[in-house]
A and B are shown apart, each in its own frame.
Chain A
Amino acid sequence: MAAADGTTGEEVKKTIDLVSKDGERFEVARDAALLCKTLRWMIKGGYGRIPLPNVASPILARVVDYLARHAAAAAAMDDDGLDRFDRDFLAGVDQDTLFDLLLAANYLQADGLLDLACKKVAAMMTGKSPEQMREIFHIVNDLTPEEEKEIREDIAWALN
């Protein structure tokens, strides 16, 4: 763990190193990393290297891409193209990647990315029956008949 350059020089360090679960290092602009609430106190405390033991490198690469684009838009106060970026960002991603991005955003408290991923998942669920949702999300029904009956009674208000 290296101390921030700010302790010795005039300038505060402008990039942060994020390290993935598998040890890969990603250099991120400070403003982009600050979009993750979980990391803020460390960044403001002058730490320049932050390990993320819950995020694999392929996912972290995508997260960093999202953060960089949104930080740049905020700095430029320029929303043009951001909506398209958001749409394209999740277009064509496979389901595993989508859920990994959602979990990473939750873990890092990157609220914009979390909202984006959750809306995508919600859209996939809209209007579907439990059986259809199991098929779409590859969910194995491991409930006993008694458990399933109990749950269906619990949510009877929604089924009638």
Chain B
Amino acid sequence: MSTGQVHRGREGAAVESHGEDLLSVLPDEILLHIRLARWRGARGGGVLDLEEGWRDVLAGVAKLKSIHTDSDFGGFSPDEYMHIYTLVYYMCTQKGHKDYPKELYHLCKQALDDHLDSIVLPSLNEKHGNFLLAEMLQSWEKHKLMVRWLRRFFDYLDRVSITWKSLHSLEHMGWIGFRDMINDERNGLLIDRALLKNVIHMCNEFGDSELNSYPEYILKAEECLQKEKEQVYSHSTTEPKDTSDKGMALVKHGTDTAKSRKDKKNEVMVGFPINLISGSRVVDEILGRVPVKAPFTDSTFEFGNSSCNPPDSFGYIPTTSKSFAERLMAPENEDLVVMLSLDLAEELETIDEVYQQISRKGERGSSKLWKFIDHGVKKCTQIRRSITLLGGSPQEIPNYLIR
């Protein structure tokens, strides 16, 4: 199977000027394959598309990264999209190079991490107060668009290689990346009530993206806002009612969503929304904390005392221990751990499918299938040992697969 020649737009022309620089981000293993393919091509036959394929995929990702700085980013045309989709498909299916899905997955993850670390985070660090949160909301919108396009480009990879248990789908990985970035860097920041409502809105969007949210905080926030509203009315009649009603309607939307979700889950919210909901004394009381940079005094806020009290059993659950451990791993080991984790996930998926067959068919023919499972468990054990030695945390082998 060969890839047909596709008309390349200006992006292709622009990329040619980069020469080897564009490919330098690739791991040595891939570069070796490319050089080998080039040598084979020189002798007649062979896969000359390999190097070109990598260049074009990287060029597509590079264009996508401009999403944050280019306000006129208009997406990709069907010609551009199908070209990159076809290359990813080709790299995942050609014979004899089974590592390419892992390299592509790593490339995609790296594109997201680089985008967050080098573009989004610096722009947030330059802002404070309302400007910070406004910038964050804007970054979130652009991040979602980037994740959507990456998912389209690497659609075949997502479908075939990542439907394994240990790896996040590309979409999920995108959401977690954004959440962790904010969580790690912006604890305890002051923001005002107007932006609080937007944060609640964003919490719901995170909820829609498979991340867990704890409805209680949103419900509590509504109660406290309502009490503040009552206090305002008792002291002054100047607050514009339309603005207040609009804000409360937004909170109501959040609480309605939270209530509907409350019946299904009761997990604590982990991540940035809690850390950023600050600046209001009642919210600080809910969270049981006071911002470091701002002394907690009555004169700091415009409202009087509130009777709201945070539930004692609730608390912020930090996730920094895991991320700290991850940061200690050497970069070269991290690449290897990613690939070994893919091997482990693939093997577990395979033997799990066999287990499902045994469950469906009952006793008939099961002894041979159990031999397959035992064999697979041995392989998984070896892979797990390798991952542990490299400083990674391997996925557990389910108990039902061990007899």
Contacts and interface: CB of A to CB of B under 8 A. Distances in A.
A1 B80 CA distance: 11
A54 B3 contact: yes
Interface residues of B, number: 25
A22 B155 CA distance: 24
A51 B368 contact: no
Contact of A1 (B78, B85, B152, B375): B78
B89 A54 contact: yes
**Interface of chain B: mostly helix, strand, loop or mixed:** helix
Interface string A18-59: 000110000000000000001001100001011111100000
A100 to B, nearest CB: 9
A109 interface: yes
**Interface of chain A: mostly helix, strand, loop or mixed:** mixed
B1 interface: yes
Contacts of A156: 375
A96 to B, nearest CB: 11
B98 interface: no
A52 B368 contact: no
A38 B155 contact: yes
B3 A53 contact: yes
Nearest to B370: A157
A53 B4 contact: yes
Given A21-B4, A157-B371, A53 B86 contact: yes
Given A103-B1, A109-B159, A50 B368 contact: no
A107 interface: yes
B78 A42 contact: yes
Contacts of B79: 1, 51
B81 interface: yes
B313 interface: no
Interface string B70-98: 00000001110111011001100100000
Interface in A118-160: 154, 156-158, 160
A107 B368 CA distance: 34
B286 to A, nearest CB: 41
B82 A158 contact: no
Contacts of B81: 42
B343 to A, nearest CB: 14
Given A103-B1, A107-B89, A158-B372, A53 B78 contact: no
B6 interface: yes
Contacts of A160: 368, 371
B86 A50 contact: no
Contact of B82 (A52, A103, A157): A52
Contacts of B1: 54, 103
B375 A157 contact: yes
A53 B152 contact: no
A53 B83 contact: yes
Given A1-B79, A38-B85, A157-B375, A53 B159 contact: no
B173 to A, nearest CB: 20
A21 B6 CA distance: 8
Chain B CB within 10 A, most for which of A21, A53, A160: A53
Chain A CB within 10 A, most for which of B5, B77, B374: B77
A51 B76 CA distance: 13
Nearest to B75: A45
Contacts of A52: 82
A42 B149 CA distance: 12
A150 to B, nearest CB: 13
A43 B371 CA distance: 48
A61 to B, nearest CB: 16
A41 B81 CA distance: 11
Interface string B105-136: 00000000000000000000000000000000
Contacts of A38: 85, 155
Nearest to B374: A157
Chain B CB within 10 A, most for which of A38, A52, A158, A160: A38
Chain B CB within 10 A, most for which of A22, A47, A54, A156: A54
Contacts of B4: 21-22, 53-54
21 contacts: A1-B77, A38-B85, A38-B155, A47-B77, A50-B82, A51-B78, A51-B79, A52-B82, A53-B6, A53-B86, A54-B4, A107-B86, A107-B89, A107-B156, A154-B375, A156-B375, A157-B374, A157-B375, A158-B368, A160-B368, A160-B371
Please give me the 9 A-B residue pairs with the lowest Cβ-Cβ distance, nearest first: A157-B371, A21-B4, A157-B372, A53-B4, A53-B6, A50-B78, A53-B86, A47-B78, A42-B78
Given A1-B79, A103-B93, 10 more contacts: A1-B77, A1-B78, A38-B85, A49-B78, A50-B78, A53-B4, A53-B82, A109-B159, A157-B371, A160-B368
Interface of A: 1, 21-22, 38, 41-42, 47, 49-54, 103, 107, 109, 154, 156-158, 160
